[in-house]
Amino acid sequence: MVEGEKIEEGMDELWGEAVVKPGDGSDRGQLFRDGNYAMFIHWGLYSSLGNKVEGKTYYGIGEWIMNRNLADIPVDEYMELAGEFNPVAFDAMEIAQLARDAGMKYIIITSKHHEGFAMYHSRASQFNIVDATPFKRDPMKELAAACSEVGIGFGFYYSHSADWTFPGGNGGPKTDAEGKPATFQDYYEKKCLPQVKEITSEYGPITLVWFDTPGSIPKEYVEELVQVVRENQPDALVSGRAGHGLGDYLTLGDMEVPHGNVDGMWESVDTTNDSWAYAWYDEYWKTPKDILHLLISCIGRGGTYMLNVGPRGDGSIPERAARSLRKSGEWIERYPQVIYATDASPWQHALPWGDVTAKDGKLFLCIFDWPESGNLYLPGLKTEIKSARLLKGDTARDIPVGTREGWTIFELPAQKPEKLVSVIEVELATPAEVDPVWGIDPEIATEIFAEFAEVTGAEKEEKKWMEKFGEWKKVVHVHGWQEGGKAAWEADVLEPGDYIVELTYAGEGRLVWGVDIEGGEHMENQQNSSHNYQRFPMGWINFPEPGRYRVSVSCLEGNIGTASLKSIHFAAVV
């Protein structure tokens, strides 16, 4: 290897084009149908740095610390970290038990990330935790055994295209130890293929092989890798990020929880703070309620949720992450029927107060914002209700239900039964029939996203960015406004009257926006804008009677070329 060689690959090259193409996982899909919640673990040499190198902190995803976007560490220097890596606090049983207590059904852990270091005993490369560190144990053997003991599944993450320390790996050194040019084929044949054979044949039954970021890997290699998984682990799923559409299911973008239902088998991957791997400063933890909200949103949209923890270099899990996971897990233990093997919400999007999952002729209304008035408003349900019960663990009480103007109204007690998420179980007389139109809630502020708008004279587009490095944010926004351009939604109103309208947008300088009710009021106002999405008040608008309205937004004046609309909000004036 050339001394001091640095990795050249950035995040865009590494993702490749085929990151999220779904394949056909029809016969292996049971894992996702039953176990729609999993633990992801990013753990490697990078964990020992925790994003601090020679006293300087780098902000961004920790497993990328050696990349030019963060500390830009030469390959030979980085590889020397192995000599000091000694995760004496690693306790496989504790981690497996944590995942179980959290209500997670399997663990996927990094066997090799882009850094190229094998966190298991690999014969294909000496750069592994048994041969190159004072630790000398194979933690993957221990974790596989612990998962089996506590009764959850076990699987591996494997970075098949990027390898930043092996000659020829994507982003890796261009020459070998003798200074001869190295090709991707060299890396693939000497390291990637043999390692995938190792992880799929030496760790017992594997639930899933989570290939990541295919980059420019040729299709024939992915075909061969998938074939190895099929032969060694016929029941294991292969992640959508294998590339070339050869995975079993769709993996959405990092940290992406969709707003609308998504068909087919898919997963969202997210992390308990901002970084996948441990970063010493990253204390922005998801609360137990955040976790339940995100999990229920994924299940409600028809998918699965895999939530990451980044153990420290010594192998211990940050206590705040563990606490949030345990607390949310206690809730799941009381309401397993709401989470596991459930179907997507027939509303196809979240509702102002919460979300819905469905199972065996029942709807589970999960309430994140308890309505103070004692009424919970559900728009669009056309099916007769047999019973409605407010759950409190194993106990339940019947609650009165009424209907008005096509809305179903549940009468709730003043006190919510659960601190985190309360649940109403609704039993239906026949399969659920729902009009998924947005309803403007009479009590709880309603946010309707631009992605659901019908757009004319403007463009609707997905936009992604990072605030630090690697922790992706995503919006679907409306921009490119032309004169007369509109984003329009249909929405049902139950309570007539004045509503406060706000818009969430980004842009530059002051912008004038117009809001119109078709056949009704027009309002407009000017507000400043921010580089990031911020919610700005527009004013009041009147819905004169109950019924369906068409509401539209236009950008009228200012630096219109920068105006990027994310959502519209309505809150009843009380």
For ligand FHN, the binding residues (CB under 6 A) are 42, 61, 63-64, 212-213, 254, 269, 276
Question: What are the backbone angles phi and psi of residue 147, rounded to the nearest 5°?
Answer: -65, -45
| Residue 8 beta carbon to ligand FHN: minimum distance, rounded to whole angstroms | 15
| Residue 133 beta carbon to ligand FHN: minimum distance, rounded to whole angstroms | 21
CB closer to ligand FHN, 42 vs 362: 42
| Residue 233 beta carbon to ligand FHN: minimum distance, rounded to whole angstroms | 21
Count CB atoms within 10 A of the CB of residue 488. 15
The helix/strand/coil state of 239 is coil
| Residue 157 beta carbon to ligand FHN: minimum distance, rounded to whole angstroms | 7
Question: What are the backbone angles phi and psi of residue 362, rounded to the nearest 5°?
Answer: -120, 150
Taking phi first (over 0 means left), then psi (-120 to 50 degrees means alpha), and beta for anything else, what does residue 103 get?
A: left
| Residue 323 beta carbon to ligand FHN: minimum distance, rounded to whole angstroms | 23
Q: Among 210, 209, 160, 211, which residue's Cα sits nearest to residue 184?
A: 160
| Residue 216 beta carbon to ligand FHN: minimum distance, rounded to whole angstroms | 15
CB closer to ligand FHN, 269 vs 434: 269
Taking phi first (over 0 means left), then psi (-120 to 50 degrees means alpha), and beta for anything else, what does residue 80 get?
A: alpha
Taking phi first (over 0 means left), then psi (-120 to 50 degrees means alpha), and beta for anything else, what does residue 522 get?
A: beta
3-state secondary structure 323-378: HHHHHHHHHHHHCHHHHCCCECCCCCECECCEEEEEECCEEEEEECCCCCCCEEEE
| Residue 61 beta carbon to ligand FHN: minimum distance, rounded to whole angstroms | 5
Contact 574, 442 (CB under 8 A): no
CB closer to ligand FHN, 42 vs 479: 42
CB closer to ligand FHN, 249 vs 276: 276
CA distances from 57 to 70, 74, 516, 560 (A): 9, 17, 49, 39
CB closer to ligand FHN, 280 vs 540: 280
CB closer to ligand FHN, 64 vs 449: 64
CB closer to ligand FHN, 195 vs 213: 213
Q: Among 265, 203, 201, 264, which residue's Cα sits nearest to residue 229?
A: 201
CB closer to ligand FHN, 41 vs 99: 41
| Residue 212 beta carbon to ligand FHN: minimum distance, rounded to whole angstroms | 5
CB closer to ligand FHN, 63 vs 443: 63
| Residue 543 beta carbon to ligand FHN: minimum distance, rounded to whole angstroms | 43
Q: Which two tokens stand for residue 490?
A: 């249909």
CB closer to ligand FHN, 238 vs 448: 238
Distance CA 334, CA 351 (A): 23
CB closer to ligand FHN, 42 vs 566: 42
| Residue 14 beta carbon to ligand FHN: minimum distance, rounded to whole angstroms | 6
Q: Which residues pair with 548 in a beta bridge?
A: 492
| Residue 5 beta carbon to ligand FHN: minimum distance, rounded to whole angstroms | 20
CA distances from 164 to 6, 45, 384, 504, 551 (A): 8, 13, 59, 40, 51
**Residues, the chain, total?**
574
CB closer to ligand FHN, 159 vs 529: 159
| Residue 239 beta carbon to ligand FHN: minimum distance, rounded to whole angstroms | 9
Place of tokens 């966190």: 119
| Residue 113 beta carbon to ligand FHN: minimum distance, rounded to whole angstroms | 6
Q: Which two tokens stand for residue 144?
A: 């596989």
3-state secondary structure 245-303: CCCCCEECCCCCCCCECCCCCEEEEEECCCCCCCCCCCCCCCCHHHHHHHHHHHHHCCC
Contact 109, 43 (CB under 8 A): yes
Q: Are strands 375-379 and 407-411 parallel, antiparallel or unpaired?
A: antiparallel
| Residue 277 beta carbon to ligand FHN: minimum distance, rounded to whole angstroms | 8
Q: Among 199, 27, 192, which residue's Cα sits nearest to residue 108?
A: 199
CB closer to ligand FHN, 428 vs 466: 466
Place of tokens 């999952």: 357
CB closer to ligand FHN, 111 vs 213: 213
Q: Give Cα 128 to chain centroid, integer Å.
A: 30
Place of tokens 């078709």: 518
